[in-house]
Each structure stands twice: as C-alpha cells, then as structure tokens.
A = this chain, B = another copy of it.
Amino acid sequence: MAVYVYGHKNPDTDSVCAAIAVADLKSKLGVEAKPAMQGELNPESKFVLEKFGVDAPEFIDSAKGKQLILVDHSDLAQSLDDLKEGEILGIIDHHKLGDVTTPNPLECWIWPVGCTCTVIKSMYDFFGVEIPKNIAGIMLCAILSDTVIFKSATCTDKDKEAAEALAKIAGVDDLQALGMEMFKVKSAVEGTPIRDLLFRDYKDFDMSGNKVGIGQLEVVDLSILDPVKDDLYEEMKKVKEEKGAHSIFLMLTDIMKEGTELLVVSDDASVVEKAFGKAVEGRSVWLDGVMSRKKQVVPNFEKAFAG
C-alpha cells in the first residue's frame, strides 16, 4: 500500500512541490510513496511543473484507510476532513505546530525556515539521496515562491543556501529572472473567477474560538488588482457569511514595494488595530514591510484575538 504525501488545502507551489519531492525521497528510501494534493494546481504551480516537466500529483479528498505524510501544514483545518480515518506516518513542515495529534510515534521534520522544500533539501542530504534535476528545479521554485525571491521576513540563510544548491543541480543560472517569471504568472488575474482568486492562497484559522480566514495575493504591482478589488471585497463578505466566520482578511501584497494592503471584512475591525497598531480606513489598511502571512500576520492576529 502506497503512502500518500500531501500538502494543505488550496495547494500552493510549496505544498505541491514538497509532496512530489518527499514522495521521491521516500521511494528511494524503499517506501512506496505517491504525491497527492487536496485541490487543483494554481497557475503558478502549473507553470512550475510544466517548466521542469514534472507530473501533477493525484487528487485526494479522503484519508480513509490510507497511510499519510503531511507536508507544509500541521493544522487539522488545513488537512483532509476525515484525517482520523487514516494513519499519519510523518509531518514535514515549516509552520507553527498545529493541532494534529497522533496515536502512534511518527517522523517529524519541522524547521523555522521559509519553505518546506528547504527542509526537504536537508533531508535528501541527510539520507544521502541524490536530487533529480527536475525535482531540484521545482523545489527551487517553491523556495523562490514562499520567500518571495528571498525578500520575505520568513526567509533564512538556510533557504538561500538550499536555493543556490538546488539551482546548481537544476542548471538554473539566474534565480532572480526565474522568480520574476513565476511572479508574473502569479500576478495574472485576468479571466480568473473572483472566488478562485480569493481562494488562490487562502487559509482558515481558529483564533481563540473565532473562525478567521486569511487569504493572500502576491503581485509585482498592486495596480494589477485595481480592476478586481471591488469584486474581491464583495466576495469576501459572501465567504464570511457562508463560513459563519468572525473575520475574512485578504492580503494584497506588493512584492516590489514590500508591503501589504490588508482588505478587512470583520465583526470587529478593531482587532486589526490591536494586531498592527494601525486602524482600518474604509475597507483596508496599508501595512508597510508586511509580506508574510505566517510570520507577520497570523501571530499578530492570534495575540489580538487572545487578548
């Protein structure tokens, strides 16, 4: 029976590429393993897999009877809904420790770095397994994506070192150019249904008993989003209603200006001021230097909701 390796809901490039890389590594260590994902490829991930000629993971929506390795998440809300029906063999991640628990001992590699694929690069090294050229390429892209080409507050020296080593294996000379190519794909909004855009990189959290949704769109220039901002805001209201959420936040992140316009739909918008010391004006607030949901947004909101 194959072990399924999969990332979080609304898979991003790291979740997809990490699943592929871990399944490759485990297979070479003698464990039959298959990459999987809980949703469709986003445009960036599609571009990355096509560029390096790697097949997409298979879709899964149930843990029942499966052995599983989780990548890029350890929160129940981001995992398969019936996770308890499966057996978790391991977790490879770079986030805070979530509420997943197990009845049996397992294998966890969780490091405070910018990208799951940075951890996986070290795992390949640790086990003395060679990284295939095409998998090195997609792992590199995952790091460029998660660290916003090394600009994010979450980026560490380990991410840079891993990216450089992977670039050599993949035969990539210009990391910056590859990164911009990806982010231009990511920035494209034309022709994307509004709900898909809102959910492109969206996560639900439980913060002190409140349901909180936080999405993020990273673009090379915020003006790209001007034509869709009104529609996004209306869609956020609908999603809040449907989910019975306390708040829905959408980070519109300008990777060149290195800051985020936070769109806010909330039962109590004062949590934003509590979290960032800056009040919402109208429907949003500009947060200078804020680019990372994980490091700069989630912890601040968690404190604000707890207080």
Contacts and interface: CB of A to CB of B under 8 A. Distances in A.
Contacts of A109: 108-109
Interface string A65-97: 000000000000000000000001001001111
Interface of A: 88, 91, 94-113, 122, 126, 154, 294-295, 298-299, 302-303
A295 to B, nearest CB: 7
Contacts of A108: 91, 97, 108-111
A253 B99 CA distance: 33
B96 A98 contact: no
B99 A105 contact: no
A281 B234 CA distance: 73
A95 B99 contact: no
B105 A112 contact: yes
Nearest to A96: B102
Contacts of A104: 96, 112, 299
Contact of A107 (B98, B111, B154): B111
Contacts of A99: 99, 101
Nearest to A84: B306
Contacts of A107: 110-112
A249 to B, nearest CB: 17
A156 to B, nearest CB: 10
Contact of A96 (B106, B110, B294, B299): B106
6 contacts: A96-B102, A96-B104, A103-B299, A107-B110, A122-B126, A126-B126
Contacts of A113: 105
A105 to B, nearest CB: 4
